[in-house]
């Protein structure tokens, strides 16, 4: 919503004492692309669709989500990226997805697209992001995760006005909600039943 409502542009205008209204695209003509359609990705994509955005998703395998067109596998990645105005990364970190937000893939986005990474820092090639911002290929980026955390005070991201930084806070674990899940899994384990929310060691998530 930060990019859809042009708040990044208004922020820049503020420093220039520039009073100028923008004309955002219609919500139905704005395409949000969600990379990763697991629990978080499916929930996010579905919510954006219900608001009225055009929503597409990309994942390892094809998904069926009401109001969301699904793309899958490396074969369809380029077609997916070529349509996206605002790209949201919610992928798990695996050998296949590490470094997926690189210059080659960023250049497949429409010129002036925006990037939001709330997945893992290692999905992004830092130097490629700076290049894409400098060249205008990306209008801006919102980053909540980083290869090194806390982010070094010397990192160039701090001084890049086209980057909005948050300190890995997009999904902070609430002890009041997670404790009952841990207790339930403990009881399931003691009774020999299958545990909830298991990680597939082969897939890596």
Spatial separation of the C-alpha atoms in residues 147 and 124, rounded to whole Å: 8
Q: Does residue 120 have an active-site annotation?
A: yes
Q: Which of 166, 145, 164 is nearest to 92 (CA)?
A: 145
Helix (H/G/I), strand (E/B), else coil: 9: helix
Instruction: Please tell me which residue in 5, 98, 120, 147 is annotated as part of the active site.
Output: 120
Q: Which of 52, 20, 17, 59 is nearest to 37 (CA)?
A: 59
> Do strands 68-72 and 86-89 pair parallel, antiparallel, or not at all (unpaired)?
unpaired
Q: Are 101 and 90 in contact (CB under 8 A)?
A: no
Q: Which residues contact 147 (CB under 8 A, 6 or more apart)?
A: 121, 122, 124, 126
Which phi and psi (to 5°) does residue 35 adopt?
A: -90, 115
Instruction: Please tell me which residue in 5, 60, 168, 187 is annotated as part of the active site.
Output: 168
> Is it true that the peptide bond before 150 is cis, omega within 30 degrees of 0?
yes
Tell me which residues are annotated as active site: 120, 168
């Amino acid at each position: 919503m930060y990019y859809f409502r042009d708040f990044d542009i208004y922020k820049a205008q503020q420093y220039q004492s520039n009073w100028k209204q923008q004309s955002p695209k219609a919500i139905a003509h704005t395409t949000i692309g969600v990379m990763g359609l697991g629990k978080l990705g499916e929930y996010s994509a579905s919510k954006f669709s219900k608001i009225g955005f055009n929503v597409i998703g990309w994942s390892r395998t094809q998904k069926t989500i009401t109001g969301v067109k699904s793309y899958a596998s490396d074969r369809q990645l380029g077609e997916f990226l070529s349509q996206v105005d605002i790209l949201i990364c919610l992928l798990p970190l695996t050998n296949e997805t590490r470094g997926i937000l690189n210059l080659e893939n960023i250049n497949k986005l429409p010129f002036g697209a925006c990037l939001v990474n709330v997945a893992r820092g290692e999905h992004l090639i830092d130097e490629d992001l700076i290049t894409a911002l400098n060249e205008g290929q990306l209008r801006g980026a919102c980053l909540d995760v980083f290869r090194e955390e806390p982010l070094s005070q010397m990192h160039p991201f701090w001084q890049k006005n086209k980057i909005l930084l948050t300190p890995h806070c997009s999904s902070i674990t609430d002890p009041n909600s997670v404790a009952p899940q841990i207790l339930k899994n403990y009881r399931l384990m003691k009774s020999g039943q299958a545990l909830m929310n298991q990680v597939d060691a082969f897939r890596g998530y």
